[in-house]
Structure 1
Amino acid sequence: MPLQLKRRQLIKALAAGGLLSQLGPLPALASGNKRLYVDGLSFLPDDLADLKSSNIDAYLCDISDIEAIQQLDGTTNYKRTYRACMKSITEALDRVNANPEQLLLGQTGSDIRKARESQRTAVFFQIQGADCVEGSIDNGLVQVDEFHAKGLRALQLTHHYGNKFSGGALDNADLETGGQQGLNKPLTTAGKQLINKLNEKRILIDVSHSSPQSALDTARASSAPIVQSHGAVRTIVNHARCSPDEVIRAIADTGGLFGVFMMSFWLTNDKIPTTEHYIAQLKHVAKVGGIESVAIANDYPLRGQKNLLKLNNNNAEGVKQYLDWWHSLRAKKVLGYEVEPSHVVIPELNHIDRMNRIDNALAAAGFAANERDKIMGENWQRVLTQVLG
């Protein structure tokens, strides 16, 4: 039997009655029994009251920051450098430690349970791009150790564009070749060494924003489950930022999961985005990877996309802030940018109460209670427990 199939069967067994049953039943809250809610990506809120209002028990928390880097051609690139991210993770850790009544630093999977029992929110620090690992392979990638000591528990290999470790989703070849082969750059030798280091440190590997080939290579190279914390399905929207089925399947075969996010222009090309479009994405991931691979992600603040909230979720106005960037990538012939976006958010989900609303929409769509348990949080709990300990 192929190794990947064995891994998937093992994960199904663990989900069905092994690992999760060992963890015991989820604790009841003072307000009664509540389904576990875990989100694939958000940020520390300006107002910590948002934590309770969101009803989220735990989430991957992007604490990275960027630095403007002047390029030789005179343009500016923005990278998550070591200096910027070390400063931002230190500030985030200080804020978590200063608010122990509301926040719990997620370091192992069991911290989800601890947070739930104490009615706090567990935050698992994540950085969206391995550009922050600037040291050489020869020195053992010591910067990974430094970030881990500060609480880093999930590292995304790249953000949009490739780096020395991984190809990026929006990488492109020169225009003379039509710009397609650059979209599928493989994992590099340095990338494979980084994966070994992350496995050793028990840091979750995130292939969001990676090229399809790099994601496939990562699934083969990692000895632990990997995730795409936030993304969408290319079968539904044919776009470079969306993942083909083979990537979804490969992630699932590691025992990992695929989180569907809230950026509606990558969820549907229909003019009016709805919750049904979001549910269709979740259904497709379940069909391809199995129900154990499906998860929820945000990629906006807990309250929602700030500018759209100011505009009362007026997508026609809100989308304008993305058009210059969109057109620049259309000029480079990057896949999918030939379709003009007409929206940014699903209005009913661009809301602090989105997790409850998704849960209810899943029920209306015919998902069983145990399937909703997995999608809304148990899949994340399982993966974080297996990878982080």
Structure 2
Amino acid sequence: MNEIEGLYPFNLTPEQEARALRLHESSIVIDLLFQGPLSPKAIPEAVSERIRETCEPYLDDPMTYSAMPAKIIHEMSSRGEIAEYKEEWYRSGITAGNRQLDLSSMEKIITSMGEVQRQFDANEWLVKATDAEQIREAKRNGLKAGIVTAQETDGLGKNLDLLDGLYQFGLRVLQLTYNNQNYIASGCAELANGGVSNFGAKFIRRMNELGIVVDTSHCGKQTTLDACRLSSQPVIASHTGVEALYGHMRCKSDEELKAIAATGGVIGVFAMPWFIHEDPNDTTIDHVLDHIDYVVRLVGAEHVGIGTDWPMSDVEWSLVYFKEHIATKLGFAKGDGPSTETVKGLEKYSYFINFTRGLVARGYSDEDVARIMGGNWLRVFEQVWR
């Protein structure tokens, strides 16, 4: 495997390396918070500077300025102007990853639906997966599958008809709230641990009826517990960590992890350097694997998955600006938001095989590796999606 770029030094034997490669290539690999396939290290410097010049006139509008680079990258990728978009996805070995809608306002809903649909329309190798069999079929045919998801619900207000419309568009995974309080529930950044509201209970029931997976990643503790109690279908945390290992607000307590597993759900472990280890400048994929190991010991390998949430399809200068000017407005503590740090061993999505290699290094069976790398997500999809 020496020809593969970015291998993390797990010190595997040649036999283990061959086994990891076989497992990675044969498994359905799913990242349920897939911000890729690009990352700052995969985007050519000339492209980064060209994007900076385009964004410069919008410096007086911080939110617009911060959001523009990612939008430009997606547009350029759709036009085939960034070849690395397809190349990185295929090198990663990821079969399916989410394509994210912005439901923060009615305007953002409409805009992001167009942007997400453009990705599917422009790339013949990318299919919109609305049932589990489409993911299996993509694997068989050498294609990639996109799963339409969203992390917030503010733009829906109390209009459940909009939820029905989004389901028809392809929405299949939805987080109840992003850090803060909304009509549905309390987020993890709220002082009040308020849980799910009466309307939120109706909202979850409608998600169950439609076949949309309930995601609790950015939810507060009581919201997570309430969602697990109220949902008739498996509940997930698409991207989180273990509070017992690192006490960040974005990590889940043992009680929450057990509650999610008890629904038949899955806990996706993220690769956010600021949320899983005390030193974001020295966070490695071994630290991520520590969180995976903990959840496996607590609730079993059948309830663990991956939802990296990092690195972002963005450019470095934009990420620095986001951390300095935007992160605190979204509920993050000062200095505690996405920037240029990456997990060593996952600097680019094309290094994703390091997850499989790490699981092999830690003694997981073939069956458990396949489950954690994507099989558990697929099981939930098969149960929930209509």
- Where on the TM-score scale, by shorter chain, does this alignment land: which range? 0.7 to 0.9
Q: Does the 8 Å CA contact 1:103/1:120 hold for their aligned counterparts?
A: yes
Letter in 2 for 1:108: D
Q: Does the 8 Å CA contact 1:305/1:350 hold for their aligned counterparts?
A: no
Deviations 1:40-88 (A, max 9, x none): 11247532333212211012221326xxxxxxxxxxxxxx113311321
The equivalent of 2:57 in structure 1 is: none
Where 1:348 maps in the other structure, the secondary structure is coil
Where 2:116 maps in the other structure, the secondary structure is helix
Tell me how far apart the structure 2 counterparts of residues 98 and 167 of structure 1 sit (CA, whole Å).
Answer: 38
Shift of residue 352, structure 1, vs aligned partner: 2.1
Where 1:59 maps in the other structure, the secondary structure is strand
Deviations 1:258-299 (A, max 9, x none): 111111111111462122111100011112221111111121
The equivalent of 1:148 in structure 2 is: 167
Deviations 1:83-120 (A, max 9, x none): 31132113312431342x31111101111111111111
Tell me how far apart the structure 2 counterparts of residues 44 and 274 of structure 1 sit (CA, whole Å).
Answer: 19
Deviations 1:155-192 (A, max 9, x none): 111111120101001112xxxxxxxxx2x221000100
Is 1:296 the counterpart of 2:306 in the alignment? yes
Ranges in structure 2 where 5+ consecutive residues have no aligned partner: 1-22, 38-76, 78-84
Is 1:166 the counterpart of 2:158 in the alignment? no
Deviations 1:290-310 (A, max 9, x none): 111111112135xx56445x8
Letter in 1 for 2:95: D
Is 1:90 the counterpart of 2:114 in the alignment? yes
Tell me how far apart the structure 2 counterparts of residues 353 and 160 of structure 1 sit (CA, whole Å).
Answer: 30
Q: Does the 8 Å CA contact 2:322/2:338 hold for their aligned counterparts?
A: no
Q: Does the 8 Å CA contact 1:62/1:125 hold for their aligned counterparts?
A: yes
More contact order relative to length (CA 8 Å, sep ≥ 6): 2
TM-score by length of 1: 0.74
The equivalent of 1:175 in structure 2 is: none
Where 1:231 maps in the other structure, the secondary structure is strand
Count of aligned positions: 319
The equivalent of 1:50 in structure 2 is: 88
TM-score by length of 2: 0.75
Percent of matched pairs sharing the same residue = 28
Q: Does the 8 Å CA contact 2:239/2:309 hold for their aligned counterparts?
A: yes
Write 1 or 2 for the structure with the bigger share of helix.
Answer: 2
The two structures, once aligned, show a CA RMSD in angstroms of 3.0
The equivalent of 1:105 in structure 2 is: 128
Structure 1 residues 42 and 341 mapped into 2: Cα distance closer, same or farther (>3 Å)? closer
Tell me how far apart the structure 2 counterparts of residues 216 and 266 of structure 1 sit (CA, whole Å).
Answer: 21
Aligned mate of 1:120, from 143, 146, 150: 143
Tell me how far apart the structure 2 counterparts of residues 143 and 108 of structure 1 sit (CA, whole Å).
Answer: 21
Where 2:247 maps in the other structure, the secondary structure is coil
Tell me how far apart the structure 1 counterparts of residues 350 and 338 of structure 2 sit (CA, whole Å).
Answer: 25
Ranges in structure 1 where 5+ consecutive residues have no aligned partner: 1-30, 66-79, 173-181, 312-317
Structure 1 residues 124 and 81 mapped into 2: Cα distance closer, same or farther (>3 Å)? same
Structure 1 residues 305 and 149 mapped into 2: Cα distance closer, same or farther (>3 Å)? closer
Deviations 1:232-272 (A, max 9, x none): 11111112121111111111111110111111111111462
The equivalent of 1:36 in structure 2 is: 28
Q: Does the 8 Å CA contact 2:246/2:277 hold for their aligned counterparts?
A: yes
Tell me how far apart the structure 2 counterparts of residues 275 and 44 of structure 1 sit (CA, whole Å).
Answer: 17
Q: Does the 8 Å CA contact 2:207/2:214 hold for their aligned counterparts?
A: yes
Letter in 2 for 1:41: L
The equivalent of 2:372 in structure 1 is: 375
